[in-house]
Amino acid sequence: MDCKQCMDILKPEVSIKCVRCQGNFHHECIGLSEGDFKKMLPMNKAKWKCPNCKISKKIGQSSPQELTASQPHSILNVDANSLMSHFDERFNRLSSTIESFKTFITDELKKVTDTVKKWTERIVNIESSVTSVNERIDNFEVELSKIHILQAELNNSKTLIKDLKESHSKNEQWVRRSNIQINGIPQKKGENLINIVKLLAERSNFKLCPNTDIDFVTRVATKNDLDIKKPKPIIVKMQARYKKDDFLSSLRKLGSIKASDIGFPGVQNQIYVNDHLSTRNKALLREAKRLSKEKGYVYCWVRNCTIMVRRTDNSPVLHITSEESLKKIS
């Protein structure tokens, strides 16, 4: 169906038909806007005449009385035919609209179905991912629990090792509780260490019976001793601890004593006597001496295998028994 005005293809939903010439027109072609066209009532469209028919009617129309007298039945017939034609046209338009709407709904429903399918697949994938993540979290929690158990075991092991080290250090010092360490005595081949100890006892006025008071006498190498020319310390192990304490006290009362004082003519080496400390306590003593000097402490000494420091004559005595206790020197 073509527009009578522009001869272009005419769609039913945008056309209007002249009741007189039966011509179909685009509503734009006869000067009607889309808004005005949609506002027209069906009965008005059924009576609508195109501009050309309206003009020709005005030119050749008869008076109402003439038209009524001469053609009463033809007018009714025309109006009835126009009305039927209008209803047919409206029915066709409605059918076309319904078909178009059905096609539109079908297409949209297909789009919705495709979209739902895609989202269903995505949701399934997300659910699978969530399940996988939950499984990983569960596994992680299990592994974390194992790690906590291992951490606790490790902490217990560390505590046990620390206790064992502490116990070993105490045992190491305990077996040396009756020992005296003597530094600064020259070393030579064939030396008689018992006689050297006897000379020291005589020098300090200590009554010593080597056969009953001394367990053994020997020289020992010091750890990390870089000076190979320096004589090795002499270790005297007494049979009884109280004998060791008395002998050591007597030796300390001598104050300064040199090698030349006990039979080494011309040797001015200073001789030092002290408790025989364990390796750990020797390290603590070195660090305590360093910190004491750094912090202005006057005294740092060892008594009964215990390291002690004192800032002044009137200051309290601090006992250094561990690396932690070195913090007391402040």
Q: What is the pLDDT of residues 91-127, one digit of tens each?
A: 888 888 888 888 889 888 999 999 999 999 999 999 9
CA 79 from chain center: how many Å?
88
The tokens for 152 are 């606790």
**pLDDT confidence of 64, banded at 50, 70, 90?**
very low
Burial class of residue 265 (count of CB atoms within 10 Å of its CB; 0-12, 13-18, 19+): exposed
Mean pLDDT of 31-46: 81
The tokens for 222 are 């010091």
Per-residue pLDDT at 272 exceeds 50: yes
Q: What is the predicted pLDDT for the residue at 227?
A: 53
Mean pLDDT of 12-26: 87
Per-residue pLDDT at 195 exceeds 90: yes
215 in Cβ contact with 238 (< 8 Å): yes
Per-residue pLDDT at 65 exceeds 90: no
Q: Which residue did the predictor score with more confidence, 240 or 31?
A: 240
Q: What is the predicted pLDDT for the residue at 329?
A: 93
As a residue count, the chain comes to: 330
Report the alpha-carbon distance of residue 214 to residue 211 in Å, rounded: 6
Per-residue pLDDT at 10 exceeds 90: no
Q: Which residue did the predictor score with more confidence, 54 or 199?
A: 199
Report the alpha-carbon distance of residue 256 to residue 268 in Å, rounded: 11
Mean pLDDT of 206-229: 81
**pLDDT tens readout for residues 276-326:** 998 889 999 999 999 999 999 999 998 888 999 999 999 999 999 888 899
Report the alpha-carbon distance of residue 185 to residue 264 in Å, rounded: 9
Per-residue pLDDT at 251 exceeds 60: yes
Q: What is the predicted pLDDT for the residue at 62?
A: 46
Work out the mean pLDDT of the chain and round it to a whole number: 85
Per-residue pLDDT at 67 exceeds 60: no
Q: What is the pTM of this model?
A: 0.52
Q: What is the predicted pLDDT for the residue at 2?
A: 83
Q: Which residue did the predictor score with more confidence, 45 or 296?
A: 296
Q: Map out the domains of the chain with their CATH numbers.
A: 12-94 (3.30.40.10), 178-276 (3.30.70.1820), 278-330 (no CATH)
41 in Cβ contact with 71 (< 8 Å): no
Q: At what angle do helices 241-253 and 193-203 cross, to 10 degrees?
A: 60
Q: What is the predicted pLDDT for the residue at 11?
A: 81
Report the alpha-carbon distance of residue 226 to residue 174 in Å, rounded: 28
Q: What is the predicted pLDDT for the residue at 7?
A: 86
Report the alpha-carbon distance of residue 191 to residue 199 in Å, rounded: 13
Mean pLDDT of 258-287: 90
Q: What is the predicted pLDDT for the residue at 52?
A: 85
214 in Cβ contact with 236 (< 8 Å): yes
Backbone angles phi, psi at 305, to 5 degrees: 65, 15
Report the alpha-carbon distance of residue 27 to residue 50 in Å, rounded: 10
Non-local CB neighbours of 178 within 8 Å, separated by 6+ positions: 215, 237, 238, 239, 240, 241, 243, 244
Report the alpha-carbon distance of residue 75 to residue 237 in Å, rounded: 152
Q: How many CB atoms lie within 10 A of CB 233?
A: 21
Query: To the nearest whole percent, how much of the chain has pLDDT over 70?
Result: 90
Per-residue pLDDT at 73 exceeds 50: no
Q: What is the predicted pLDDT for the residue at 69?
A: 42
Q: Which residue did the predictor score with more confidence, 168 or 73?
A: 168
